[in-house]
């Protein structure tokens, strides 16, 4: 039996939908009953004079909705809401319940007045998203992307990077540097947050600081690389570490990283490495699966270092490969930044030192 409001808002067929320039936001429903879901669909469809337009998402996977509507009275509803709120740059989460609870606080939307209040609650969530988008556009207006390093869109959006770094200042500096090459970034401060976010959202790159307050980042990387199924970490990982020893470089390679940068890292080295690693990953995504782990694993220290993406090895802020370090012991040799080997020194004296570039981390 339909309520009087549902009877008045029954959709009519055969009407042509005019062009609508209002911003559209997708709503994902978690645990809400069928009657309230149907009522929500009718209300958002006929709210033609509202400032925002809403659509009920068919799926609730990562990147498939903008606003979450969670029934706090359903089993596990409070846990779902808490998990959604813990995601970096979390999307608005609207809790639907019957009354205020001292365990979880006041509900954002009451079931008793659902049809009267749902549009106003959705509008407040949409305004927060709109303000966040305007702020992001203003920040990118002052930080223009380098046209030679711009990366292609992924499913209609810029490539997304997860920065696992305990320092908020370093995370913000990396985010500003990545915006210059049209790459979005999200940051977390612990390994536990990183694992939780990776299980809920999709990324094209991970930038990892090995020294974390709750454990070893390389141990987590090695474990995620060896997982099976959807838990396996297949996206490339660039290690950004303040430790630049040869064995630190080897440990990172054996853990499964795709690049290594030492702090403080020059802006050009960060841009070039991220651009090259992302282009290589995005270019081979549709290809055949990789070789078995045992067949592709490096067996010696030199082969482990050679397997990494270290063409920026001799620039400031990075670590040269082991073969380049060994070549320093022989006089009259000059290192090559491409192969890590040695070549005869050119006549005419040493080359002048390149000007120092700004760092993106303290």
Task: Compute the average pLDDT of residues 78-95.
Answer: 81
Task: Compute the average pLDDT of residues 64-79.
Answer: 88
Percentage of the chain surpassing pLDDT 90? Answer: 23
Q: Does residue 310 sit in the same domain as residue 249? A: yes
Q: Does residue 266 sit in the same domain as residue 338? A: yes
Is the pLDDT score of 326 beyond 60? no
Task: Compute the average pLDDT of residues 19-25.
Answer: 82
Q: Does residue 183 sit in the same domain as residue 316? A: yes
Q: Does residue 171 sit in the same domain as residue 278? A: yes
The CATH number for 183's domain is: 3.40.50.2300
Question: Does the residue 81 lie in any domain?
Answer: yes
Torsion (CA) 281, 284, 285, 291 in degrees, nearest 10: -100
Question: Does the residue 120 lie in any domain?
Answer: no
Q: Does residue 325 sit in the same domain as residue 251? A: yes
Is the pLDDT score of 340 beyond 90? no
Percentage of the chain surpassing pLDDT 70? Answer: 66
311: pLDDT confidence band, cut at 50, 70 and 90? very low
Q: Does residue 196 sit in the same domain as residue 294? A: yes
Distance CA 96, CA 111 (A): 7
Q: Does residue 97 sit in the same domain as residue 178? A: no
The sign of the CA dihedral 242, 208, 255, 195 is positive
Is the pLDDT score of 351 beyond 70? no
Q: Which residue has the higher pLDDT, 192 or 5?
A: 192
Domain boundary among 110, 144, 174: 110
Distance CA 97, CA 245 (A): 55
Task: Compute the average pLDDT of residues 59-86.
Answer: 85
Q: Does residue 296 sit in the same domain as residue 214? A: yes
Q: Does residue 168 sit in the same domain as residue 273? A: yes
Contact 308, 302 (CB under 8 A): no
Beta strand 184-188 pairing with 160-164 = parallel
Question: Does the residue 141 lie in any domain?
Answer: no
Question: Does the residue 207 lie in any domain?
Answer: yes
Q: Which domain holds residue 101?
A: 4-11+20-110
Q: Does residue 246 sit in the same domain as residue 102? A: no
Q: What is the pLDDT of residue 75?
A: 87
Q: What are phi and psi of 47, to 5 degrees?
A: -85, 70
Question: Does the residue 188 lie in any domain?
Answer: yes
Q: Which residue has the higher pLDDT, 332 or 274?
A: 274
Q: Does residue 97 sit in the same domain as residue 214? A: no
Task: Compute the average pLDDT of residues 227-249.
Answer: 88
Is the pLDDT score of 13 beyond 50? no
Question: Does the residue 200 lie in any domain?
Answer: yes
Digit-coded pLDDT (tens) for 108-161: 788 888 888 888 889 988 888 888 777 666 655 555 556 677 788 888 888 999
Contact 159, 183 (CB under 8 A): yes
Question: Does the residue 50 lie in any domain?
Answer: yes
Task: Compute the average pLDDT of residues 44-71.
Answer: 87
CB-based contacts of 358, cutoff 8 Å, min separation 6: 266, 267
The CATH number for 100's domain is: 3.40.50
The sign of the CA dihedral 68, 70, 75, 79 is positive
Tally the domains of the chain: 2
Instruction: Give the HSE-up count for residue 362: Cα atoms under 13 Å, Cβ half-sphere.
Output: 8
Digit-coded pLDDT (tens) for 194-237: 998 898 888 999 999 999 989 999 999 999 999 887 778 999 99
Task: Compute the average pLDDT of residues 65-83.
Answer: 87
Question: Does the residue 133 lie in any domain?
Answer: no
Classify residue 356 as exposed, middle or buried by CB count within 10 Å of its CB (0-12, 13-18, 19+).
Answer: exposed
Average pLDDT value over all residues in the chain: 75
Q: Given phi > 0 = left and psi -120 to 50 = alpha, else beta, which region is 79? A: alpha
Q: Does residue 175 sit in the same domain as residue 322? A: yes
């Amino acid at each position: 039996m339909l309520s009087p409001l549902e009877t008045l808002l029954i959709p009519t067929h055969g009407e042509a939908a005019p062009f609508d320039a209002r911003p559209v936001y997708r709503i994902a429903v978690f645990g809400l009953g069928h009657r309230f879901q149907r009522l929500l669909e009718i209300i958002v469809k006929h709210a033609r004079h509202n400032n925002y337009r809403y659509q009920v998402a068919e799926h609730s996977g990562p990147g498939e909705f903008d606003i979450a509507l969670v029934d706090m009275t359903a089993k596990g509803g409070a846990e779902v809401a808490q998990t959604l709120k813990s995601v970096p740059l979390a999307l608005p989460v609207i809790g639907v319940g019957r009354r205020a609870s001292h365990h979880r606080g006041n509900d954002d939307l009451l079931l008793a007045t659902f049809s009267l209040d749902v549009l106003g609650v959705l509008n407040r969530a949409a305004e927060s998203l709109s303000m966040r988008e305007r702020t992001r556009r203003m920040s990118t207006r002052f930080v223009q992307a380098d046209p030679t390093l711009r990366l292609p869109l992924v499913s209609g959006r810029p490539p997304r990077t997860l920065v696992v770094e305990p320092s908020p200042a370093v995370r913000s500096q990396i985010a500003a540097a990545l915006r210059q090459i049209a790459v979005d970034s999200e940051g977390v401060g612990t390994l536990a947050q990183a694992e939780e976010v990776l299980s809920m959202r999709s990324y094209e790159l991970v930038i990892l600081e090995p020294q974390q307050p709750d454990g070893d980042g390389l141990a987590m990387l090695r474990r995620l690389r060896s997982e099976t199924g959807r838990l396996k970490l297949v996206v490339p990982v660039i290690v950004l570490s303040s430790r630049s020893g040869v064995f630190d470089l080897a440990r990172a390679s054996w853990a499964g990283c795709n690049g290594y940068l030492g702090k403080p890292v020059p802006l050009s080295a960060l841009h070039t490495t991220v651009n090259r690693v992302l282009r290589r990953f995005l270019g081979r995504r549709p290809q055949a699966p990789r070789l078995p782990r045992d067949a592709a694993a490096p067996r010696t220290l030199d082969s482990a270092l050679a397997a990494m993406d270290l063409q920026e090895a001799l620039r400031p802020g990075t670590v040269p490969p082991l073969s380049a370090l060994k070549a320093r012991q022989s006089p009259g040799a000059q290192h090559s930044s491409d192969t890590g080997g040695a070549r005869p020194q050119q006549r005419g004296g040493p080359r002048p030192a390149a000007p120092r570039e700004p760092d993106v981390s303290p």
